[in-house]
């Protein structure tokens, strides 16, 4: 696992109290009880800090899953394999 993916996973584990093994295609806004709007904004804020990006509003709105988040970050130039 690359360093960026490790940092990404840590954010999800800290904010949602999830185990790393739970972080997969099923980890979505709809399926995770703790993923409310406050947790969502905390997630966005933490990821922006860690990866030094600023998400477009549309990406904030559609950042609805663990996997989709990886794709969005890669669009901002974050190499998730690094």
Partner 1 sequence: MLRLENKICVVTGAARGIGKAIAETFAQAGARVYSLDLPSAEFETQEGRLASGGEIIHVRADITASDSVRATFMRVKKECGKLDVLANNAAIISYEMLGMISKDKLRKMFEVDVFAMIEMMQYASRLMAKSGGGSIINMASIVGTNGAAGQLAYSAAKGAVVALTKSAAKELAPQNIRVNAVAPGMVATKRLVAEMSGRFEEKTGNIGLGRMALPEDIANVYLFLASDSASYVSGQIIGADGCMVL
> Does 44 contact partner 1 by CB under 8 A?
yes
Is 79 one of the binding residues for partner 1 (CB under 8 A)?
Answer: no
Told to check if 54 binds partner 1 by CB under 8 A, we report: yes
Judge whether 16 and 34 are in contact, CB under 8 Å: yes
57 lines the binding site for partner 1 (CB under 8 A): yes
Q: Is 30 exposed, middle or buried (0-12, 13-18, 19+ CB in 10 A)?
A: exposed
Contacts 24+ apart (CB under 8 A), 16-19: none
49 binds partner 1, rule: CB under 8 A: yes
What is the binding site for partner 1 (CB under 8 A)? Answer: 41, 44-45, 48-49, 54, 56-58, 60
């Amino acid at each position: 696992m690359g360093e960026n993916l490790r940092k990404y996973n840590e954010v999800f584990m800290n904010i949602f109290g999830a185990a790393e093994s739970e972080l997969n295609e099923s980890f979505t806004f709809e399926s995770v009880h703790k993923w409310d709007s406050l947790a969502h904004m905390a997630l966005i804020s933490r990821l922006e800090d860690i990866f030094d990006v600023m998400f477009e509003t549309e990406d904030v709105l559609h950042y609805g899953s663990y996997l989709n988040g990886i794709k969005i970050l890669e669009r901002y130039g974050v190499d998730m394999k690094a």
